[in-house]
Structure 1
Amino acid sequence: MKKLFILSLVLISFLGFSQIVMSSGTQTNRWTFGGGLGLAFGSNSYFNFQVSPRVGYKITEQLEGGIIGNVSWQKDDYYSSTMFGVGPFMNYYFARSFFVGANLQQYFINTKEKFTGYKFDTDETALYLGGGYMQSIGNNAYMQLGVMYNVLWKKNESIFSNGFIPTVGFVVGL
């Protein structure tokens, strides 16, 4: 049920993004849309694909809040894993080129070992705090580069290898 809910949220975000981008050309719209894509390859036939759509609302010209989701598929010679995440975010923009933000994510993870067939399901909450730089790419669209830290991360208790994550994304509507 959790997977279906999160997958539905991701699809609605993409459909909403395509509808708003096609129908709104004015800057009076307070809605923002964007997200990121990730792709990684590594040893032992490692492959990772990630999609992270986001929908926001400009509360003021500098403050934006919204919801972000992500879906990640990983596999290698030994295991495969699917991870869904969803949660609210808040960004504060200053000097039109920088931002600080917070992002609370609830992750649901399903992992399967290929040789034994052992399945492992878990969930984890992450609170990311950080910031970064924004570069205008035209027509109220921006590329965002930054770094976030999960303040809830605990060594040997988390599914993640560390608390830091680099962020690269695109936003339309700022």
Structure 2
Amino acid sequence: MASQRITVAKIGGVAADVVLVRLRGWAEARQSSDPDEWSSEQWLASVRVEVDAFAERLRANSLAPPVIFFVEWSDLWSMGDLFRRWLSPPGGPSPIEIHADRVSVFGYSLPDGYRLACHLSSAGPQLCDESNQFIARLRESLEARRSLAEKSALIVVREVVGGLVTDEEMEASLAVVPEWLQG
């Protein structure tokens, strides 16, 4: 479990094709065939640098078309398996997955015959709010400008920034003004 910044973005049109080709190329550079073990060390340093730079450029250009949808939020609790789980619809493709030095990036190609949308709509309420929020953001991204750009790339970026924040730590923080806000 970790404190992390989660980004969900959707890029449409021919740019989606370019994004998906790059993500697949980086994913294929993985130097492990173990489907259950994932770490940044499984990619060459040069690939990790490229993936981190891609995530930065995505953030920097989040308001520019052909970015159709972009949202970021903090998640102070979820584990890494959340992303692959909800981006893997039954009978559908697995997400493209790459782990760099600062970020993990997941890609998903649309259209997919509504497989991901059906998977997410059948999710039901989850045990933790963070999972519900992630599923809701994925649903929103699928609906964003669907009629305008059916061909698109769904991108999820996970940037771990620290350890889990417990409920007790959060509750204690509510009684103080943080240093960054003082003065």
Greater relative contact order structure (CA < 8 Å, 6+ sep): 2
TM-score normalised by the chain length of structure 1: 0.30
Q: Which has the higher helix share?
A: 2
